[in-house]
Structure 1
Amino acid sequence: MSYDYCVIGGGIVGLATAKALLARTPGASLLLLEKETELATHQTGHNSGVIHAGIYYPPGSLKADLCRRGAAATKLFASEQGIPFDVCGKLLVATDEVEMARMQALFERSAQNDLKVQRLDAAELREWEPHIRGLGALYVDTTGIIDYRLVCEAMGRVITAAGADVRLGSTVVGIAERGDSVRISTADAEFSAKKLVVCGGVQADRLARMAGLPIDFQMIPFRGEYYRLPATRNDLVHHLIYPIPDPELPFLGVHLTRMIDGGITVGPSAVLGFAREGYPKFSFAARDVREFATFPGMWHVARANVRTGAREMFNSLSKRGYLRECRKYCPELTVEDLLPEPAGIRAQAVLRDGTLVHDFLFEQTARSLHVCNAPSPAATSAIPIGEMIADRLVG
């Protein structure tokens, strides 16, 4: 079968891209292929559900612009589709003098990003959040929470109503670009499209190599391990509680996240995953381990982050170690408060020289565009990311 467009990947970026393509070219035919039997099965369905405001990102950067526009677009889409969300705000808490200096830098950055941010001293923080301790905090009032699986389900309905052919349980096994089309093969069918978009998440490098692209990166899986507080603790905090991030590290640190279902999660940690799509603890996939163990970039990353990696691994194995990270700003939490919660997998692109790719990474040919790295806040930013991809393909 032949289509105008084919999108590989049923996560939020793939769905937002399909939505944007059909809005740009009404009446066009579009095929969306997803290897799982449900949409949003992987990264999108395992994240913390935060609608980020964009305080962390360099002023004028693509990430800052996409996050700001994406937050507004996500809230508008949710309102139109009847999807519940809560703009509860976020507090970034500084617990020592080093973090206070970093907090000041974030406050200055927020002004450059046109974000409304309020500074709180220790007494004001305690008044706002009686169970949280710190020397000071930044309050970002536009941060919200949502269930991104519901967003994806709604996007699936929107694109299907616009004529998209959504095929679940369809694993792509071949991609071949010819002069006037791209041939896409699955285990039991073959399709062609005038233009192809690949939003493969943690499988992005394999799909790019399948298409014959000369890439110099590999997707490395990092497990984001969470706990959930008991229901009796659901009123512990009124806002999202985040630590002040270390600018030298790519992760935001362990935080308390109010969820749209009323619960509170604690996390995530960030440990190397031994399976790209293995969510249970101690998951292991020989192919995945073999690939990153023989990739030079992985060893550069390991050498550069020995102490951080060792701490994260210890916290993964020791609930008490994990608890220490939480008690820096919420000292009353106990080991008994940390209940099981499903983990997530963060797909991190790493270059051959060991560079962690912190921004969006695209590879484009005459008839295809591969989204090779879609870092946080990709879920928040998905709608404008899809529009940007559609602009590149449609012109």
Structure 2
Amino acid sequence: MKLYIEPAKEQWNTILKRPTNDSLNFTDTVRNVLQAVREKGDQAVAEYTLQFDKVALTKFEVTADEFIEAEQLLNDQLKTAILTAYENIRTFHETQTTAITVVETMHGVSCWRKQVGIEKVGLYIPGGTAPLFSTILMLGIPAAIAGCKKVILCTPPAKTGKVHPAILFAAKLVGITNVFKIGGVQAIGAMAYGTATVPKVYKIFGPGNQYVTCAKQLVQLDGVAIDMPAGPSEVAIYADDTAVPAFVAADLLSQAEHGSDSQVLLVATSKNIIEAVEKELDKQLEQLPRKEIAAIAMNNSTAVVIADHPVAMDLLNEYAPEHLILATDCAEQLAEQVINAGSVFMGHYSPESVGDYASGTNHTLPTNGFAKMYSGVSVDSFVKKITYQRLSTEGLINIGNTVALMAAAEGLDAHARAVTIRLDELKS
């Protein structure tokens, strides 16, 4: 870990700078794949699936028999774990719906807002070395609560041409039956533009590698919404003398094993804490199956010593981490100072892993500093909010002169006349 002792604020931007990927190296490739999918549809999807995933498929949609087979292959313990996570996530997200409240802004003028689910949404779920079936719960549950009419899912096939059974079990659990064995850029293109097999959607959700992220950004230019800008997963930990070094090391490694580009930041109140954590890192790293990936991420990580609590929190807010762990006895007080973070984990017994899987909060969160202006995925991400107004004749009389004067002042006489013609009719 790179170590900084009480750095001046002028250094913070340099210390906290995330590594950047040179997207220019692959943007043209991604654009070409998207264009081919747009023009050739399923044919292009099949060609790229063979080229990138080394799987020859003639049909992409998962069959009913494959759903049944997946449920049989999954052990009961994992099924129970997924069901427990499902209940917790659903319980938390159900609180995010809002009742319609009619407000009378002035006598006879009523306004309200109605929440309506986005009709067609697409979910992208990575496969590969870590099939993220938990993300299906995080996206599928709020989509169902929001009332989205059509939810489809794309995920890359294994070399066998099958989909990981946990992905199919989780998909069925949240009510998604349209699952397609398509991964990478071609999946984003298929959902964005539609093919003979894959329906076109209005908004695309889900994580992915730099190619998938680039594809999402490009289809956004064609009018398809996406959940949020995305970068490598990240965690920041604040640790003081009450922190348990073994716990802190475990939390750092749980993030580092996501990928070699994962971002890890440790802010501690003394150098002794960092040294104790590093000893634990060395021990725990050797026990990880994904230790080579985690080791690369840890080598690129940063540790900062800041003794003053408010200054440390200022630095963390400037970093705006995806996940923020407050490993301290005074987590409650420090949490009040957090203004930029995707999700906060308070105290010694709240590991980031619980939010990733089963506490109830959503793990699809803003990265790369976007927590300064973006929230994580919620039911709100899957809805539009439509405003309504209704005026009685008395209401129009009360507000009419205000509108007519403002419209005339802006030189929009037709706007004014839309009001005055009604007022004249009421006077006659």
TM-score, normalized by length of structure 1? 0.32
Q: Which has the higher strand share?
A: 1
TM-score, normalized by length of structure 2? 0.30
Q: Which has the higher helix share?
A: 2
